């Protein structure tokens, strides 16, 4: 004799496995963690690049201040720190002033009163640096917990 309870249960299971409703929800539940694992580091790197750009712009703002107003270590440092909304930005190392003679590949350091090899007087250069600490959203084994973003700009002021 056939047990009707077992037949109905088997029939219900067959209909359940044949039903296609909810497949999208199950697929999304399986794919969402993988998608988040890929997108979170990409967004984190985007934030790091954005802050690196702000650090570079802050160093350039300090150099621009030096060009417009001349040498003042404190004022240049203030221009660096106030050029960005980043609270952790600093003018580290402090701005420096040096004299040098331009050549084909760079600048040769020289005393400020001396003459260059071509007979011209040396130029006065200001080096402006900016640094900020960046903490990733998630700690990555390759990057560590914190990174120091830095930028440096050199400009001739006379």
Is there a contact between 89 and 55 (Cβ–Cβ < 8 Å)?
Answer: yes
How far apart are the C-alpha atoms of 107 and 48, rounded to whole Å? 32
pTM of the predicted model as reported, rounded to 2 decimal places: 0.75
* Structural domain includes residue 152: yes
The predicted-structure confidence for 119-157, as pLDDT tens digits, reads as follows: 888 999 999 999 999 888 877 766 567 889 999 999 999
Running DSSP on this structure, what letter comes out for residue 130?
Answer: E
Residue 7 placed within a domain: no
Range of the domain at 119: 27-156
Give the pLDDT confidence score for residue 2 in this predicted structure: 55
- Residue 105's H or E segment, with its range, is none
* Residue 59 covered by a domain: yes
Q: Cα dist. 82→86, 91, 104, 140, 153 in Å?
A: 9, 10, 35, 31, 16
CA–CA distance, 157 with 76 (Å, rounded to integer): 13
Number of structural domains in the chain: 1
């Amino acid at each position: 004799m056939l047990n009707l309870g077992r037949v109905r249960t088997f029939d219900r299971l067959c209909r359940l496995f044949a039903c296609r409703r909810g497949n999208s929800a199950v697929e999304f539940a399986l794919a969402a963690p993988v998608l988040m694992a890929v997108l979170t580091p990409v967004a984190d790197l985007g934030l790091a690049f954005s802050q690196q750009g702000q650090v570079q712009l802050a160093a350039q703002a300090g150099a621009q201040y030096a060009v417009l107003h001349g040498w003042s270590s404190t004022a240049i440092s203030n221009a660096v720190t106030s050029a960005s909304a980043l609270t952790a930005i600093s003018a580290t190392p402090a701005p420096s002033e040096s004299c040098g003679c331009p050549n084909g590949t760079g600048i040769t350091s020289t005393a400020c009163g001396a003459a260059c090899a071509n007979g011209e007087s040396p130029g006065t250069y200001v080096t402006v640096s900016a640094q900020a600490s960046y903490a990733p959203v998630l700690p990555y084994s390759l990057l560590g917990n914190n990174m120091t973003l830095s930028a440096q700009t050199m400009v001739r002021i006379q």
